[in-house]
Structure 1
Amino acid sequence: MFEAKGISLKLDDRDRWLFKDVHIFLEKGDTLVIRGPSGAGKTTLLKCLAHLQPYTAGQTYLYGKTPAHYGITIWRSRVMYVPQRPALHPGTPMDLFNMAKSYASQKGKYFDDPIKIGMDWNLSASHFYENWSFLSGGQMQRCQLAVALALNPEILLLDEPTSALDPETTLLVEKSLQGRTCIWITHSPDQEKRVGTQTLTLSRLASPAEEHDEEIVVPLNSQ
């Protein structure tokens, strides 16, 4: 279903690499857990797979076709990056969902209801109509993930999606994600055992100071 061959990112022209020759092969329903120390480039790798950040070498495929075949905006709607810390979007979570599903890249897709998804995670319908700035960190994280799930991408690129949640709610989110095809960053060995069908461990090739991995603020999809 999804394949990444030789994904590599060079930090500069002096042969300093953040990661090199990363290979990923996913069948439908697989969850690849990515682990590694700070500075290994885990978040940056997800952004590269979503084509939110350029990389030095390698190629990605969805059903055997490259991002150039689909077009980058459609690729991002089908291989969707969900950051650990939600960006401060204007308006409410439902505003974000309605905006995202109106994009040309979403044309012809079936959408689920983010409110129904969120209610399985101890959210109420009212949370989706509150301004993002009024939500707690855990509420924001769940609302963002519910919106992403409702948009039905083929691949979810999840950057510590339960880091702000309590253990009970974490298990509820994990249950909802069963059967989804995911690449999932986690620092929890217990979570890795529960959700992972494969594991990829990144080693730190560059020092943390050499990794310029600021959070890129992007909508869930682009027009």
Structure 2
Amino acid sequence: MRFQVVDLSKKKPDGSYLFKDVSISLREREIITITGPSGVGKTTLLKCIAELVVFEEGKLYLDDKSPEQYDIPLWRTRVMYVPQRPVIMPGTPFAFHEKIRSYAALKKNRSAHEDPIEISARWGINEELWHSDWNRLSGGEMQRIMLALALSCKPDVLLLDEPTSALDSETCFLVEESLKEYACIWVTHDREQERRVAHKTLRLEKQDNGLDNRGGEAIINI
């Protein structure tokens, strides 16, 4: 597996750049963490890579094929975005799991699905929580269930927006060990977590000197 983000740029409504010329290269079971101050575009960058937000410049490739060559719905199952705070939905996590299994794009994915209930059990989620209403779950329970749903689809790349922010340290370590088996682009504000999981780090910096409108500048450390 080879994943590339090439010179990706996103503009703000005023025409200035939120970030500009971000490039990332990722291989199987490699993790790149993204850090930077609030407002620099970390979450937006993940959504652009997932083709959930329109960007003005740049290219995306998975195994040398663009999102359009896969078709966008299939791309989103193979390059999968997991938000920090899942939207509270009606019904139960199990009903949602049954619904997403029926999506045509997931059926096209060559990988067999895993059982998300078994995945989440490794992180302390009891099976009965899958049959509880979403609005009865804690933030940490929702995070783990959404991660388990994502992993069950066996994506090529996980786009993770602070995926362990609501977890205690012991559970956080368990989740981190599971995620190390995947290729991840991972937003974190936790420097210790970054040291534990990252093969490379990318920091987005604001450009506030008034001399240009480049917006966020990407700095990659290996």
When normalised by structure 1's length, the TM-score is 0.90
2:175 maps to 1:173: yes
Query: Cα deviations across residues 26-60 of structure 1 (Å, max 9, x unaligned)?
Result: 01111010000001100000000000000010000
2:44 partner SS? helix
State yes or no: 1:7 paired with 2:22: no
Alignment match, 1:67: 67
Unaligned runs of 5+ in 1: 207-223
Cα RMSD of the aligned pairs, angstroms, is 1.3
C-alpha displacement of 1:12 = 3.5
Structure 2 counterpart of 1:90: 90
Q: State the SS of the aligned residue for 2:205.
A: coil
- Give the drift of 1:13: 5.4
Matched, 1:186 2:188: yes
Identity %: 49
* Distance in 1, Cα, partners of 2:31 & 2:164: 15
Q: How many residues align?
A: 206
In the alignment, which residue of structure 2 is the partner of 1:18? 18
Whether the aligned pair in 2 keeps the contact of 1:17 and 1:205 (CA below 8 Å) is no
What is the CA distance between 1:61 and its match in structure 2?
0.3
Paired with 1:59 and 1:113, the residues of 2 have a C-alpha distance of: 33
Corresponding position of 1:144: 146
Task: Tell me which moved more, 91-100 or 177-186.
Answer: 91-100
Structure 1 residues 90-109: aligned runs within 5 Å:
90-108=90-108, 109=111
Q: Distance between the aligned counterparts of 2:78 and 2:30, measured in 1?
A: 16
Give the structure with the larger strand fraction: 2
The alignment's TM-score, normalised by the length of structure 2, stands at 0.90
1:19–1:205: 8 Å Cα contact kept in structure 2?
Answer: no
**What's the secondary structure of 1:107's corresponding residue?**
helix
The one-letter amino acid of 1:113's match is D
Aligned to 2:37: 37
Alpha-carbon distance in 2 for matches of 1:116, 1:54? 35
Partner of 2:217: none
Aligned partners of 1:205, 1:127: CA distance in 2, in Å? 45
Q: CA deviation at 1:90?
A: 1.9
Q: Which residue of 2 aligns with 1:27?
A: 27
Deviation at 1:199, TM superposition (A): 0.5
* Residue in structure 1 matching 2:201, options 199, 203, 211: 199
Q: Is the 8 A contact 1:93 1:128 kept in 2?
A: yes
Residue in 2 aligned with 1:111?
113
CA deviations 1:146-187 (Å, max 9, x no partner) are 111111111100000000000000000001111200000000
**Counterparts of 1:149 and 1:75 in 2: how far apart (Å)?**
15
Distance 1:204 1:24 in 2: 18
What is the distance in 2 between the residues matched to 1:204 and 1:96?
38
Following the alignment from structure 2 to structure 1, what is the Cα–Cα distance between the partners of residues 40 and 88? 26
Which of 119, 122, 135 is equivalent to 1:120?
A: 122
- The structure 1 segments of at least 4 consecutive aligned residues displaced by more than 3 Å after TM superposition are none
